[in-house]
A and B are shown apart, each in its own frame.
Chain A
Amino acid sequence: MAETAQAVDTTRESGPLPSPRARRRYAIVLASLIVLAVVFGAGLLVWDNPVPFGTAGFWKVAELRGTSIIVMGVVAVCQATATVSFQTVTNNRIVTPSIMGFESLYVAVQTSSVYFLGAAGILAVQGRIQFVLQIALMVGFSLLLYGWLLSGRFGSIHVMLLIGIVIGGGLGSVSAFMQRLLTPSEFDVLTARLFGNVSNANPDDLPVAIPLCIAAAALLWLRSRRLNVVALGRNVSTALGIRHRSEVMITLLLVSVLMAVSTALVGPMTFLGFLVATLAYQFADTYDHKRIFPIAVLIGFVVLAGSYFIMRHVFYAQGVVSIIIELIGGSVFLIVILRKGRL
C-alpha cells in the first residue's frame, strides 16, 4: 500500500471543484455547452427560413419557431432537473422518474379520450384547463404513491419505485387494450400524441407551464446543498443532521411537478432524462448539484435542439426526433447497466 505523499497541485481545500484544473475544466464545459445551445437555438430560428431576412414575414416564421425553442427549453429544464434530483434521492443512477407512472397516466388519458369520444376526443383533452387538470392528476397520483409508500414504519424508496412502475404497467395494458379497439383512423390521430414531440405542445399552455417549471426547478436548485448530502444515503445524511425522509418527500414532490409539466406539454420522453443526467455527471464531474443542474439543463437543450436541427435540415425527418433520442438514451442505459458497478 503506497501511501507516500504524492505531489498535490493545490492548496488544501475541499470544495466541489478542488483544483484549478477542475475549475478550468468545468468552465470550459459550461462555456462550450452554452455556445452549442446558442448555435443550435439560433440555427433552428433562422436556418432555411423561406422568407428573406429582415422582412416582416421572416420575423413571423422566426416567432413560430421561437415557440418551439421555448418548449424545448421548458422540457430540458424539467427533464434534466427532475431526473438528476430523482436519482439523487433514490440513491440510484439508473432509474428515471418517467417510468413512475407519469407517462402511463398520460397515455391512458389520451387513449381513453379517443376511445370514448372518437377522433374528436383528442381535442377534448387540449386546452389550458385540461392541461392544468392533467398536471394535477399526475402530481396527485404521485403524491398518493409517496404518501402511501414512503411514510410509516416500512417506508421504502425501492418499494415505492417498483409499485409505481407496476401500476404504470397495469395502466399501460388497459391503454393497449383500448388502442386495439380503435379504428385505424382514430388510432392515427392518437399515435401523434403517444410519442413525445415538441410540436405537440400547445402555445396556450406555456403561460402555465413556464412558471411551474421555473418555480419547481428553482426550488430544487436552492436545495442543492441538502441534495449533496442526501446523495450520501439515508444513514450518512441523517447522521449529518438532514431530515432524510421529509427531504426525499419534498424533492419527489418537486420532481413530480416537473415531470407532469413536461409530459403534459410534449408527451412521453422516457429516456431523455436518463441520457441527460448520465452525460451531465460525466461532464460536470462534481458532487455539487448547484453545478450539475446547469450542465444537465444545457445538455438537455443541446440534445433536443441539436437533434431537431439535424433531423430537420440534414435528414428531413423531424417526426422521429424523440424516438431517435429515446433509442440513444436506451442504448446508453444498456451500456451503463452492463458496466460493473454497485446499485
Chain B
Amino acid sequence: MTSQTLPDRETRSRSRQRLLDWKLLVGVAVVVGLLVLSLYTGVYDVVGAEDGGEMFAITRIPRTVAIMLAGAAMAMSGLVMQLLTQNRFVEPTTTGTTEWAGLGLLAVMLLFPGASISMRMLGAVLAAFVGTMVFFLFLRRVSLRSSLIVPIVGIMLGAVVASVSTFIALQTDTLQNLGVWFAGSFTSVMRGQYEFLWVVAVVAAAVFFVADRFTIAGLGEEVSTNVGLNYHRVVLLGTVLIAIATGVVTVVVGNLPFLGLIVPNVVSMVRGDDLRSNLPWVCLLGIAIVTVCDLVSRTIIAPFEVPVSLILGILGAVVFVALILKQRRRG
C-alpha cells in the first residue's frame, strides 16, 4: 500500500475524548441555524405568499434534507477512503470514483432512455464500485515512494474515465447535457426525486459502527490478519459504502468535488486524530460546508443559481493546495 502511513491517525483509545460535549452541541446548533437559513432562502416568498407552505414542502424541505444527506455522505466516504488507504489526499474526486459513477449514469441513460431514477442509481453505484475497486487494486499492486503519487494517479484515472464519457456523449450528441448532469446542484431537488438520498443516511450510520476496522484495514492485509480482521471483507464493505454514497449523490445531486477531502482533513487539523470522536464533526462540517456553498450559489447571481459544484470546486482546490503546501513543510 502507501509507503507513507499516517500513524497519528490511529485511534488512541486511552486518550479517547468523550463523544458528546458542549462543543459538539454548539456545532449542532450552528448547523441547524444554517439549515434553517437555507430553508428560508430563495426567490419565492414562502412566508408571505398564499401557497407558501406548499412550496416550502415541495422544494425547500427536500432541498435542505438533500444538502444534509449529501454533505454528510460525501464527507464520510472521503473519510472511509482516507482510512482505507492511509492517505490524506484520497477521496472520490481524486480517485476517479466520481467519474466512474458518471459513466455508469450515462450508460444507463443512453441504453435505457426511459430508465427510472432507481435504475440510474444502480448503474452509477455499480460503476462507482468497479472504479473504486480498480483504484484499490492499483494501490495494492504498486509500492509508492510518495503519498502524493496516489492522488496524481487517481486524477489521471478519472481523466481516462471522463474521456470515455465524453466520447460516448459526443457520439450521442449529449455533450452539453453531460455537463448539466454532472455539475452538482441542488436546484432541481424537489419532493418525489430526492427520497433516494435517504439511502446514504444508512452509509453514514454504517461508518460510525465500523470506522475502527477501516483504520486497521488501512494498515495493510498482514496487520489486519494479525489482529484477526478479515481484510478483504472490510475493504469490500468500505468500497460498497463509498460506491453507494458516491453513486446515489451523483445521480440525485451531481458531483460534489473535494468535499470528502476538505472535511476530514480540516477536522483532524483542528481536533487531532481521534477517529471516533471526530466522526460526528465530520458529518456536521460536511453538512455545514455544503449548506454554505449552496447558500452562496443561490444568492451570488440571484435570481439565477450557480451550480454548487463550481463553488465547491474552487474552494476545494484552494484548500487542497493549502493542505499540500502544509504537508511539504513537514517534509
Residues of A within 8 A of B (CB): 92, 94-96, 99, 154, 156, 158-159, 161-163, 165-167, 169-170, 173-174, 176-177, 179-180, 182, 184, 187, 191, 195, 270-271, 320, 323, 326-327, 330-331, 333-334, 337-343
CB contacts under 8 Å to A, within B155-180, are 155-157, 159-161, 163-164, 166-167, 170-171, 175-176, 179-180
By the criterion CB–CB under 8 Å, are B167 and A161 in contact? no
Q: Which listed residue (A94, A166, A180, A184) contacts B156, Cβ 8 A?
A: A94
A sample of 7 inter-chain contacts (CB < 8 A) reads A166-B320, A173-B309, A180-B180, A187-B175, A271-B160, A327-B164, A342-B143
Centre residue among A162, A184, A270 by max chain B CB count within 10 A: A162
Q: In this assembly, does B55 line the interface, its C-beta being within 8 Å of a C-beta of chain A?
A: no
Closest partner residue, chain B, to A161 (CB atom):
B152
What's the Cα separation between A327 and B171 when bound, in Å?
Answer: 14
Q: Which listed residue (B138, B167, B183) contacts A320, Cβ 8 A?
A: B167
Chain B residue numbers with a CB within 8 Å of A327 are 163-164, 167
Known: A165-B155, A176-B179, A179-B176. A158 touches B149 (CB 8 A): yes
By the criterion CB–CB under 8 Å, are B179 and A343 in contact? no
Closest partner residue, chain A, to B145 (CB atom):
A343
Query: Mask for B128-140, Cβ within 8 A of A = 1, else 0?
Result: 0000001001100
What's the Cα separation between A337 and B157 when bound, in Å?
Answer: 9
Instruction: Report the minimal beta-carbon distance from B158 to chain A, rounded to whole angstroms.
Output: 9
By the criterion CB–CB under 8 Å, are B167 and A92 in contact? no
Chain A residue numbers with a CB within 8 Å of B148 are 156, 158-159, 161-162
Q: Which listed residue (B155, B306, B329) contacts A99, Cβ 8 A?
A: B155
Q: In this assembly, does B321 line the interface, its C-beta being within 8 Å of a C-beta of chain A?
A: yes
What's the Cα separation between A184 and B173 when bound, in Å?
Answer: 11
What's the Cα separation between A94 and B156 when bound, in Å?
Answer: 9
What's the Cα separation between A327 and B167 when bound, in Å?
Answer: 9
Q: In this assembly, does B78 line the interface, its C-beta being within 8 Å of a C-beta of chain A?
A: no
Chain A residue numbers with a CB within 8 Å of B159 are 99, 270, 330
What's the Cα separation between A327 and B163 when bound, in Å?
Answer: 7
By the criterion CB–CB under 8 Å, are B149 and A92 in contact? yes
Q: Which listed residue (A166, A174, A271, A337) contacts B142, Cβ 8 A?
A: A337
Chain A residue numbers with a CB within 8 Å of B13 are none
What's the Cα separation between A94 and B160 when bound, in Å?
Answer: 13
By the criterion CB–CB under 8 Å, are B164 and A330 in contact? yes
Q: Which of B36-44, B236-244, B310-318 contacts A (4 or more CB under 8 A)?
A: B310-318
What's the Cα separation between A179 and B142 when bound, in Å?
Answer: 38
Q: In this assembly, does B324 line the interface, its C-beta being within 8 Å of a C-beta of chain A?
A: yes
Q: In this assembly, does B220 line the interface, its C-beta being within 8 Å of a C-beta of chain A?
A: no
Q: Which listed residue (B153, B163, B171) contacts A270, Cβ 8 A?
A: B163
Chain A residue numbers with a CB within 8 Å of B313 are 169-170, 173
What's the Cα separation between A17 and B320 when bound, in Å?
Answer: 45
Closest partner residue, chain B, to A170 (CB atom):
B317
Residues of B within 8 A of A (CB): 89, 134, 137-138, 141-146, 148-149, 151-153, 155-157, 159-161, 163-164, 166-167, 170-171, 175-176, 179-180, 183, 257, 306-307, 309-310, 313-314, 317-318, 320-321, 324-325, 328-329, 331
Closest partner residue, chain A, to B315 (CB atom):
A170
Q: Which listed residue (B152, B170, B176) contacts A95, Cβ 8 A?
A: B152
Q: Which listed residue (B146, B160, B314, B324) contacts A334, Cβ 8 A?
A: B160
What's the Cα separation between A162 and B151 when bound, in Å?
Answer: 8
Sort A-B residue pairs by CB-CB distance and give the 4 closest, nearest first.
A330-B160, A173-B313, A170-B317, A158-B148
Q: Which listed residue (A94, A182, A333) contacts B176, Cβ 8 A?
A: A182
What's the Cα separation between A99 and B96 when bound, in Å?
Answer: 14
By the criterion CB–CB under 8 Å, are B183 and A337 in contact? no
Known: A156-B328, A163-B324, A338-B137. A184 touches B163 (CB 8 A): no
Chain A residue numbers with a CB within 8 Å of B89 are 162
Known: A338-B137, A341-B141. A180 touches B317 (CB 8 A): no
By the criterion CB–CB under 8 Å, are A323 and B163 in contact? yes
Known: A159-B328, A161-B152, A338-B141. A179 touches B167 (CB 8 A): no
Closest partner residue, chain B, to A317 (CB atom):
B171
By the criterion CB–CB under 8 Å, are B134 and A179 in contact? no
Chain A residue numbers with a CB within 8 Å of B152 are 95, 158, 161-162, 165
By the criterion CB–CB under 8 Å, are B141 and A94 in contact? no
What's the Cα separation between A159 and B167 when bound, in Å?
Answer: 31
- 12 further interface pairs, Cβ-Cβ under 8 Å (given A92-B149, A95-B156, A333-B157): A158-B149, A166-B320, A169-B155, A173-B309, A180-B176, A191-B175, A271-B163, A323-B163, A330-B160, A333-B156, A338-B134, A338-B138
Known: A169-B155, A334-B134. A191 touches B314 (CB 8 A): no
By the criterion CB–CB under 8 Å, are A320 and B171 in contact? yes
What's the Cα separation between A191 and B177 when bound, in Å?
Answer: 13
Chain B residue numbers with a CB within 8 Å of A191 are 170, 175
By the criterion CB–CB under 8 Å, are B179 and A330 in contact? no
By the criterion CB–CB under 8 Å, are A179 and B141 in contact? no
By the criterion CB–CB under 8 Å, are B141 and A167 in contact? no
What's the Cα separation between A113 and B146 when bound, in Å?
Answer: 39
What's the Cα separation between A154 and B327 when bound, in Å?
Answer: 10
By the criterion CB–CB under 8 Å, are B183 and A180 in contact? yes
Instruction: Report the minimal beta-carbon distance from B14 to chain A, rounded to whole angstroms.
Output: 35
What's the Cα separation between A189 and B254 when bound, in Å?
Answer: 26
Instruction: Report the minimal beta-carbon distance from A85 to chain B, rounded to whole angstroms.
Output: 18
Chain B residue numbers with a CB within 8 Å of A334 are 134, 157, 160
Known: A165-B152, A270-B159, A342-B142. A179 touches B317 (CB 8 A): no
Q: Which listed residue (A94, A174, A338, A339) contacts B310, Cβ 8 A?
A: A174
Chain A residue numbers with a CB within 8 Å of B141 are 338-341
By the criterion CB–CB under 8 Å, are B160 and A166 in contact? no
By the criterion CB–CB under 8 Å, are B149 and A343 in contact? yes
By the criterion CB–CB under 8 Å, are A99 and B170 in contact? no
